[in-house]
Amino acid sequence: MSRKYFFKKTMIQIASCMGSSRFM
């Protein structure tokens, strides 16, 4: 697993917590 992939996944999770609907 690449660190970039993990970082991206974490960022997406944080965004989802803040409100993914806003990004979508």
Please report, for residues 6, 15, 20, the alpha-carbon distance to residue 3 in angstroms, rounded to integers and kept in the order given: 5, 18, 22
* pLDDT given at position 9: 92
Please report, for residues 2, 14, 16, the alpha-carbon distance to residue 21 in angstroms, rounded to integers and kept in the order given: 27, 12, 8
* pLDDT given at position 1: 64
**Structure confidence by residue, pLDDT tens digits, 1-24:** 689 999 999 988 888 877 756 655
* pLDDT given at position 16: 83
